[in-house]
Structure 1
Amino acid sequence: MIFDPRLCELGEGPLWHPIREQMFWFDINNQKLLSQDRDGPREWRFPEIVSAAGWISEDVLLIAGERDLFLFDLETEEVETLCLLEQDKPKNRPNDGRADPQGGFWIGTMAKDEAVGAGAIYRYYRGELRKLYSDITVPNAICFPPGGTFAHFSDTVTHKVMKVTLDADGWPNAAPEVFLDLTAEGLYPDGAVIDAAGVMWLAQWGASRVAAYDANGAFLRSIPVDAPQTTCPAFAGPQLTALIVTSARKNLDAEALRIAPNSGATFVIEGLTQGQREHQVII
């Protein structure tokens, strides 16, 4: 079922704001933040690529842009730089990101032309931005099981989703281990979210689906989506029982778009399970 019919070139970063009860997501290639609330659709265009967000207060989002992590006031549209991000790498852009249970914010970067190993994964926490992992090509699947003791992330081109233990402040304190290896199936992990029971819901680029895996990495089920390039899921709604899924239409030729004309739309799947509340970013 379509949640929002606006067709994104590269939809990404869905975020349910638990105070505003409002859905946000991005069209990366068109430099837009989109929203859907009780009053209908809204959108904001930025002078640079934006890709992911976390909520700070009722009116303020933290947004990842090409040059910085910045604060954006939804009512006044005022922008304030929080910290710089790869200003020395103009060929890079942000990609997947999500707030963690400790109030930090993880964000991945990558080359605009997807050059191998050009990106990285960072974490912002209480005034400090620290690079966690280098040599990343397409960062994705940043998500956090309940309890705050683990984090997941992926470099999509490796076909693997990783798992790493965290200390009490949310910093990785061990080497990452492979959580899912999808190489044999030829599947590409994209964005992911973990529900209240600890199940990972993983968008799989090119597979027209979101797949569920338990806390041990065992496959549970897949949910078809009417777009081949699913990008990221997020739980939404007052009871967090709606799974919102963004998608993309980039690089699809005319025949592919004829077969899947809803590519780039944002979808909703109701009644699967209950999600976790999106964590607040503490600055």
Structure 2
Amino acid sequence: MEQVPTSVLSAERCHLGEGPTYYAATDTAWWFDILDGRLFEVHLGSARPRIHWLGKQASALARFDAGHQLIVAEDGLYIRSIREGSMRLYWPLEANNPATRSNDARVHPSGTFWISTMGRNAEAEAGAIYALYRGEISRLYGDVTIPNAICFSPDGAIGYFADTAKKTMYRVLLDPATGLPCGAPVVLLRQRDGLDGAVVDADGLIWNACWGGACINIYSPKGEHLRALQVPARQASCPAFVGQNLSRLLVTSAWVGMDEAARAADPEHGRTILMEVAARGRQEHDVKLASP
């Protein structure tokens, strides 16, 4: 386990921190506390977080223009005004199924948005992975228990995703122009500890948060384990490359499921961490919508 310089970006504890992303143009990081319905906004230059109460559980976002975000929430996709904070429904998703909520998501280099759902209590095979392509949503994979680690190779030709409950990460060939599968998923790797959120750097390496393992695992595109970087929170949930040169790593964490003794033994539980990893990171892509 390697140690790198690490600091607390936000001491506010997230019940279930997830879905971090970063806007280089404004030097602003965003992430969610899914279970408490909160969206965090931090300008890295000031490191003073703002908390936006959404009124619903949400787990991820993507930018589609300078003033708006697409929020992935428990009952669908919402367009959110960054300045006003107002939200309007763009597309319902499993809105008629109160047993599920949104989870992991990421934008493909083409602008196609992969999003996922899961059971609120991680019910077996209750979740699915979808793609928002040219303003239409299609279901890619069903019978997923805890979808995570959605990310893409730099050229957009490979997609990755995991089912945390099955301790398995998959690899699938994609059409780089559309971000849609052109083959069946195959097993990339199996990991004893929890495979949670992931990002891919400019060299194609996969940076994966290890839920329960207090680390970020780094894998090659062939699934070879290369490094493990220690995170000062046991339930690390998702990483994002941040900073003007995208060389730092923001990592969300969570205290869900931890009793009082477990929280006492994990002093940074639920906090949002900033790690000096000297990465060759990549900027997140904007989602492409058919119409605003």
TM-score where L is the length of structure 1: 0.97
Note the alpha carbon deviations across 1:54-88, whole angstroms, 9 max, x for none.
11112211110111111101101121222111112
Q: What is aligned with 1:257?
A: 263
Does residue 268 of the first structure (1) align with residue 277 of the second (2)? no
Letter in 2 for 1:180: L
Q: CA deviation at 1:19?
A: 2.4
Quote the residue 1:229 is aligned against: 235
**Structure 1 position 208 matched with structure 2 position 217:** no
Aligned-residue offset at 1:272: 2.9
How many percent identity over aligned positions?
Answer: 38
Instruction: Give secondary structure in 2 for the equivalent of 1:255.
Output: helix
The 4+ residue runs of structure 1 with deviation greater than 6 A are none
- Say whether the 8 Å CA contact 1:190–1:202 is kept in structure 2: yes
Q: What is the alpha-carbon distance in structure 2 between the residues aligned to residue 115 and residue 269 of structure 1?
A: 33
Counterpart among 186, 202, 206 of residue 177 in structure 1: 186
Residue pairs, 1:19-30, within 5 angstroms:
19-30=25-36
Alignment match of 1:60 (pick from 64, 68, 92): 68
Q: Distance in 1 between matches of 2:189 and 2:80?
A: 35
Matches of 1:27 and 1:35, distance apart in 2: 12
Aligned to 1:219: 225
**Residue-pair matches, total:** 280
What CA distance in whole angstroms lies between the structure 2 residues aligned with 1:236 and 1:279? Answer: 14
Task: Determine if contact 1:18/1:278 at 8 Å carries over to the other structure.
Answer: no
Letter in 2 for 1:153: F
Give 3-state SS (helix, strand or coil) of 2:65's partner: coil
Q: 2:139 aligns with which of 119, 123, 131?
A: 131
- The question of 1:41 aligning with 2:49 is answered yes
The 3-state SS of whatever aligns with 2:227 is strand
For structure 1, the 5+ residue unaligned runs are none
Secondary structure class of the residue paired with 2:239: strand
- Tell me how far apart the structure 1 counterparts of residues 71 and 26 of structure 2 sit (CA, whole Å): 17
Report the CA distance between 1:20 and its aligned residue: 2.2
Q: 1:137-164 CA deviation, whole Å, 9 max, x = no partner?
A: 1110000110010110011011111011
Q: Secondary structure at the match of 2:88?
A: strand
Please give the secondary structure, in 1, of the residue aligned with 2:264: helix
Q: Is the 8 A contact 1:19 1:58 kept in 2?
A: no
Residue equivalent to 1:85: 93
Q: Any conservation in 2 of the 1:103–1:280 contact (CA below 8 Å)?
A: yes
Check conservation: 1:164, 1:177, Cα contact below 8 A: yes
Correspondence for 2:122: 114
Q: Residue deviations 1:229-271, cap 9 Å, x none?
A: 1100010111001101000001111111111121000111113
SS in 2 for 1:29: coil
The one-letter amino acid paired with 2:134 is R
* Letter of the structure 1 residue corresponding to residue 113 of structure 2: F
The CA distance in 1 between the partners of 2:9 and 2:204, in whole Å, is 25
2:232 & 2:279 partners in 1: Cα distance? 20
| Structure 2 portions without partners, runs of 5+ | 1-6
* Alpha-carbon distance in 2 for matches of 1:191, 1:88: 26
Instruction: Note if 1:99 corresponds to 2:110.
Output: no
Q: Does 2:25 correspond to 1:16?
A: no
1:244 is aligned to 250
CA-CA distance at 1:18 after TM superposition: 2.6
How far apart, CA to CA, are the structure 2 residues paired with 1:99 and 1:223?
25
When the two chains are superposed, the root-mean-square deviation of aligned CA atoms in Å is 1.0
**What SS does the aligned partner of 2:237 have?**
strand
Q: Secondary structure at the match of 2:178?
A: coil
Write the distance in 1 (CA, Å) between the matches of 2:111 and 2:27.
19
| Equivalent position SS for 1:157 | helix
AA aligned opposite 1:192: A
In structure 2, distance between residues paired with 1:163 and 1:236: 25
